[in-house]
C-alpha cells in the first residue's frame, strides 16, 4: 500500500506552521529517506503521519484509507509502526515483556504471538539472550535494537523511523542500520526514514526527499543523489539560497 501525504500543513502551536504544504509518497517495500537541516520539520512529519499531531489541512492516505484524523493506536492497527528518536522501550519490563507489549494488537492470538516472538528472535538473536533481563540494564545499541524489534512485532507494512542513530557511537550506528535494513527486508515492508547521517542513510534508500522549512525542496530516486550533492543542497538550505 502506498503512503500518500498531500499538501499537509501542521504545527504544535496555533499560528505557527512547521509543515507547510508538504507532499510525498512512499511505495510498498521501498525505502524513502527524508533529509534536511535541523528544524526543517522532518520529525514533525513522522509524528503527523502517525497521528500524534493532527494536520490543520491536507490529506494523508495509507492505501485507500484517510488516516489524517486517526489517533496513533488506530494507525497501528492499519499496519504502520513508528520508531521514534528516543529509546522507545519500557525500562522496568523485561526484554520479552517489551516485545509482548509490541504485539498488543494481537495479544489474544497465542499461536501468532509465539510465532512472532520466534521470528523476532531470529532477526535479533542478541535479544533472546537477554529475554528475561530488565530493559534498563541494556546498552545503547541493545536498547535501539529492542526499540526496533518491539515495533516490528506486528510485521508492519510501513515503518516510520525517526533518527535511528541519534546519540549512538559510529559502530553502534552501523549496527542500527543493519537491524533496520534486515528487518525491512525480512518483513518486506516499506520504510520512511528520517536521518541526519546522510552518507550511511542514503545507502539504504530507494528514494530521497530533501525537506526544508516544512516543504519538500528536492526529491528523486537515489541514483540522482550522492553525498556531495546532498551536502550542497543542505548547505543551500542553511544559507537560504
Partner 1 sequence: MTITPELLLNFTIAGLMIGVLYALMALGITFIYSIMKMINWAMGEFYMLGSYVQWALVVFLLGADYWFVGIIGSMILVFVVGLIVQRVLISPMFTSGMERRDEYGTVVTIALSLFLRNLMTVLSGPDTRTPGRFLPPVTLGTLPVSGDRFAAFVGALLLIFLFYLLLNYTWVGMAFKASSQNRVGVQTAGINILRIDQAAFAIGVMLAAAAGALLAPVFLVYPSNGAIATVKGFEIIIIGGMGSIPGAVLGAIALGLTESLGSVFISSGLRDVFGFVLLIIILLIKPTGLFGERERLS
Residues contributing to the site for partner 1 (CB under 8 A): 12, 50, 52, 71-73, 76-77, 81-84, 86, 88-93, 97, 100-102, 104-105, 107, 150-151, 154
In 36-157, which ranges are E strands? 57-62, 65-66, 80-83
Smallest distance from the beta carbon of 191 to partner 1, in angstroms? 15
Smallest distance from the beta carbon of 122 to partner 1, in angstroms? 21
Type and span of the H or E element at 230:
helix 227-239
- Specify the residue, 81 or 120, whose C-beta has the smaller distance to partner 1: 81
- Specify the residue, 88 or 165, whose C-beta has the smaller distance to partner 1: 88
Beta bridge partners of 13: 16
Question: How far is CA 1 from each of CA 25, 64, 101, rounded to the nearest angstrom?
Answer: 11, 8, 25
Smallest distance from the beta carbon of 76 to partner 1, in angstroms? 4
Smallest distance from the beta carbon of 155 to partner 1, in angstroms? 13
- Specify the residue, 159 or 210, whose C-beta has the smaller distance to partner 1: 159
- Specify the residue, 154 or 189, whose C-beta has the smaller distance to partner 1: 154
Smallest distance from the beta carbon of 81 to partner 1, in angstroms? 7
Residue 5 has phi, psi (to 5 degrees) of -110, 120
Q: Cα–Cα distance between 164 and 118 in angstroms, integer?
A: 24
Q: In which residue are the cell numbers 528520517 written? A: 194
- Specify the residue, 154 or 184, whose C-beta has the smaller distance to partner 1: 154
The conformational region for residue 219 under phi > 0 = left, psi -120 to 50 = alpha, else beta, is beta
Residue 228 has phi, psi (to 5 degrees) of -65, -40
Amino acid at each position: 500500500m502506498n503512503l500518500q501525504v498531500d499538501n499537509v500543513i501542521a504545527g504544535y502551536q496555533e499560528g505557527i506552521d512547521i509543515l507547510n504544504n508538504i507532499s510525498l509518497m512512499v511505495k510498498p517495500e521501498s525505502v524513502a529517506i527524508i533529509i534536511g537541516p535541523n528544524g526543517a520539520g522532518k520529525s514533525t512529519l513522522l509524528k503527523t503521519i502517525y497521528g500524534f499531531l493532527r494536520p490543520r489541512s491536507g490529506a494523508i492516505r495509507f492505501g485507500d484509507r484517510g488516516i489524517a484524523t486517526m489517533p496513533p493506536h488506530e494507525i497501528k492497527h492499519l499496519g504502520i509502526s513508528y520508531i521514534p528518536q528516543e529509546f522507545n522501550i519500557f525500562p522496568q519490563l523485561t526484554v520479552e515483556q517489551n516485545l509482548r507489549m509490541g504485539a498488543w494488537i494481537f495479544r489474544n492470538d497465542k499461536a501468532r504471538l509465539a510465532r512472532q516472538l520466534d521470528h523476532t528472535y531470529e532477526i535479533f538473536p542478541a535479544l533472546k539472550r537477554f529475554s528475561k533481563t530488565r530493559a534498563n540494564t541494556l546498552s545503547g545499541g541493545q536498547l535501539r535494537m529492542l526499540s526496533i524489534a518491539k515495533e516490528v512485532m506486528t510485521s508492519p507494512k510501513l515503518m516510520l523511523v525517526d533518527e535511528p542513530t541519534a546519540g549512538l557511537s559510529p559502530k553502534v550506528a552501523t549496527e542500527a542500520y543493519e537491524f533496520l535494513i534486515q528487518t525491512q527486508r525480512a518483513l518486506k515492508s516499506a520504510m520512511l526514514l528520517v536521518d541526519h547521517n546522510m552518507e550511511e542513510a542514503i545507502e539504504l534508500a530507494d528514494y530521497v526527499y530533501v525537506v526544508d522549512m516544512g516543504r519538500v525542496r528536492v526529491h528523486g530516486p537515489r541514483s540522482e543523489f550522492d553525498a556531495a550533492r546532498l551536502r550542497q543542497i543542505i548547505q543551500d538550505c542553511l544559507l537560504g539560497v
